[in-house]
Amino acid sequence: MTIQQQSPVLSVEGLIKDYPGVRAVDDVSFSIESSSVHCLVGENGAGKSTLIKMLTGALQPTQGVMKVNGVVYQPNSTQDARESGIATLFQELHVVDELSVLENLTLGMEQNRFGFIIKSDLEDRVIQTLATIEPSINPSARVSSLSVAQKQIIEIARAASSGANVIIMDEPTAALSEREVERLFTVIRRLREQQVTVVYISHKLDEILTLGDSVTVLRDGKHIVTKPLSEVAGRSELIDMMIGRSVFQNYTARTAVTNEVVLSAKGLSNRLLKDVSFDINKGEIVGFYGLVGAGKTEIARALFGADKVSGSIVFKGQQVGSSPKEAIAAGIALVPEERRTQGLFTNLTIRENIPVMNIRRMSDNGIFRSADELTAAVNYVEKLGIATDSIEKHTEKLSGGNQQKVVLAKCLFSDADLLLLDEPTRGVDVGAKTEIYDIIKNLADAGNSVALFSSELEEVLGICDRIFLLYCGSLKSVIINGPNVDTTDILNVVTGGNKGVTQ
């Protein structure tokens, strides 16, 4: 008698996703076995998020085939994915605090007739599912009274109740305590026992090694390997597969760096940051490097006064950190991670955007000097090489790289002594990256200080004088840049390994 081999629950064959000028996923093929915990790892920019968006119907592949249980699968929406048995849990929770656990579990799945909800066996089914996964949660409890981990379990139960046999979890432990992580792991193991497959995405390699049955490694959009974790020789092998190359370093030591401290942060703490302390010197380019949930953006926003933290921030002898207005007045400017929603007025022109952080500079007794605004716009378009046929062009019509240059121009016009750059080259082409790096170096050479918050290792190694390594809201190590920096050690620290030696 011939035993028929079971098809993988999910597989991709020759998957490609192209954007203008960029191939985000490049000929990826692998399969996921049923009733397993399949882990997906890779550096930032490896292609994980793009791959997951294609699996869940949020993006359409440029080329390639996806299959569910051996059958070709072509989702045009996330609803199509759910109907095919694939559910996704993102880092941001999607529960309604004002409703009960039961109301959250049935939300969106209620049966109705002529617009009226009708009685069904749905409530009994979801309560039974929740009891199987985590019996300690009361279905009548208000969700606002639950912990973050319990809210995640509600999302898991809702996905399982909907008939999902594949649940994708994207960085599910980013906001959990150690005890809550253990509880989540127990739930995931129960799901596996109930023939549910979990695709687990995390930068925390110890979690991968503890929880996973198999692992797929992506690098630069390509599939590197899929193998059982029982055949992986610990963290070091995972890191080697993730890097797979010597990170290109073009850093040259700079002479403009001084020993004069311009900013001193002590004991910064909030919901994510844990007692973070550091100094930034005049003329220095410092980098804050870490993976998802490390705390980079939170530090940038704290220094700019956009987020409240405990601790102290002293800039040029002055206490700051209470508001962006205070930061700007003191000489601190922020280029935010989300340039379109936080860095620009996209409905305004280039000319109108540039002076907004320092309107007083071109005003006399409340009278705005429009001629000065025009001169400033022309000067910064030329100085930063902003590609446009007119300073009257609305910024929403510019390319990503040129939008970023307009945000930089705004900050430069503010006469800031400290420039905070949060992911300044994300989504810009190689040529624009080089131009932005030159701008940063020129600023620092002129005596300004720059803090670069980046998830690209090559970026911080190429331009920063010192690099602060972050993991889960803590500053784990400080690296003085130079030819002897070990990139494997850096990846070990930012993925939760040993602290490393402060250089």
pLDDT one-digit tens code per residue, 351-401:
888 777 666 766 666 676 777 777 777 887 887 778 788 888 888 888 777
In a domain, 249, yes or no: no
State the CB neighbour count (10 A cutoff) for residue 393.
15
Measured between alpha carbons, how far is 431 from 333 in angstroms, rounded to an integer?
A: 24
Domain boundary among 387, 415, 443: 415
- Residue 320: its pLDDT value, please? 92
Q: Are residues 271 and 420 in the same domain?
A: yes
Given this model, what pLDDT does residue 291 score? 82
Q: Do residue 155 and residue 69 come from a single domain?
A: yes
Q: Which of 383, 415, 447 represents a domain boundary (last residue)?
A: 415
Strands 332-335 and 166-170: unpaired
Structure tokens at 378: 């022309």
Answer yes or no: do 27 and 145 share one domain: yes
The size of the chain, in residues, is: 503
Q: Which 8-state DSSP code applies to residue 2?
A: P
In terms of domains, do 103 and 141 share one?
yes
| CB 197 within 8 Å of CB 8 | no
State the pLDDT at residue 499.
Answer: 54
Q: And the tokens for 381?
A: 């378009």
DSSP state letters, 181-200: HHHHHHHHHHHHHTT-EEEE
- For residue 501, give the 3-state DSSP assignment: coil
Which residues, other chains included, contact 120 with Cβ-Cβ below 8 Å and sequence gap of 6+?
110, 111
The domain that holds 135 is classified in CATH as 3.40.50.300
Q: How far apart are CA 48 and CA 164, in angstroms?
A: 21
| Residue corresponding to tokens 């529960």 | 95
Instruction: Tell whether 338 is covered by a domain.
Output: no
pTM above 0.75, yes or no: no
User: CB-based contacts of 136: which residues, under 8 Å, 6+ apart?
Assistant: none
Could you tell me if 295 and 307 lie in one domain? yes
Residue numbers of the domain that contains 93: 10-243
**189 and 276, same domain (yes or no):** no
Residue at which a domain ends, from 390, 415, 440: 415
In a domain, 239, yes or no: yes
Q: What is the pLDDT of residues 221-244, one digit of tens each?
A: 999 999 999 999 888 888 888 877
Q: Do 172 and 63 lie in a common domain?
A: yes
Q: What angle do CA 493, 494, 499 make, to 5 degrees?
A: 25
In this structure, the answer to whether residues 173 and 103 fall within a common structural domain is: yes
* Spatial distance between the Cα atoms of 377 and 381, rounded to a whole number of angstroms: 6
- Number of folded domains that form the chain: 3
Nearest to 155 by CA among 230, 208, 222, 90: 90
The answer to whether residue 101 is domain-embedded is yes
Is there a single domain that holds both residue 52 and residue 189? yes
